[in-house]
Each structure stands twice: as C-alpha cells, then as structure tokens.
Amino acid sequence: MKNLEIKETEIMTDYGFFVVETACGEFLNICLALRSDENGYKKEIKRSDSGFDDGICGYTNEKAINKYGRDEVLSFLLKSARKSGLRVV
C-alpha cells in the first residue's frame, strides 16, 4: 500500500467519514469521531474506534483488507488522514 498514489481525499464532517480515492479508482474510508454534543463529527479519528473494518467502511475497505491486510489498510488510512490535517488519537 505504500506505493499507492492518492488521487483525492475528502473529510466529510456532516456524515462522519474520511474518504481516500486512489489513482487506480479504489475508495477507502474510515469513521470520524462523533462530537460530544452529537451534532456532527470532529476532524479527528479515534484509532481504537475507527470503524474502518466494520459496517459501511468495512464493506468499502474489504477488498483492500483482503489484498493488503488489516494493519496495512489501517496504517495507510491513518497516515493519509494526518496528511489531510485530521488528528488521530
């Protein structure tokens, strides 16, 4: 995954996702942390509760997880998130 080129990233605070589109047209996503007032999402990812391998994110990331491994996909998403200005806790 280290050699995957990122085409575009999007921080979707209204919907709670950080989305990465690779140059080869694959999409990967991870969940943002919910605000304490539950009115939207923070520009933050909780590493221990990122949901990258569960629900909608898990479905979207399944192909990459099977190809590269769970840890590689999580590492790639967190690194991409940091580069995009998100905080990872």
pLDDT digits (tens), the chain, 89 positions: 778 899 999 999 999 999 999 998 999 999 999 999 999 999 999 999 999 999 999 999 999 999 999 999 999 999 999 999 999 99
Position 2 scores a pLDDT of: 74
Residue 54 domain-assigned (yes or no): yes
Model confidence, pTM: 0.93
**What one-letter code names the amino acid at 10?**
E
Position 71 scores a pLDDT of: 95
Q: What share of the chain is helix, strand, coil (3-state, %, to 5)?
A: 35, 25, 40
Domain count, the chain: 1
Position 31 scores a pLDDT of: 97
Residue 69 domain-assigned (yes or no): yes
Residue 1 domain-assigned (yes or no): no
Position 84 scores a pLDDT of: 97
Position 47 scores a pLDDT of: 93
Closest by CA to 52, choosing from 21, 76, 30, is 30
Query: Which domain does 83 fall in, by range?
Result: 6-88
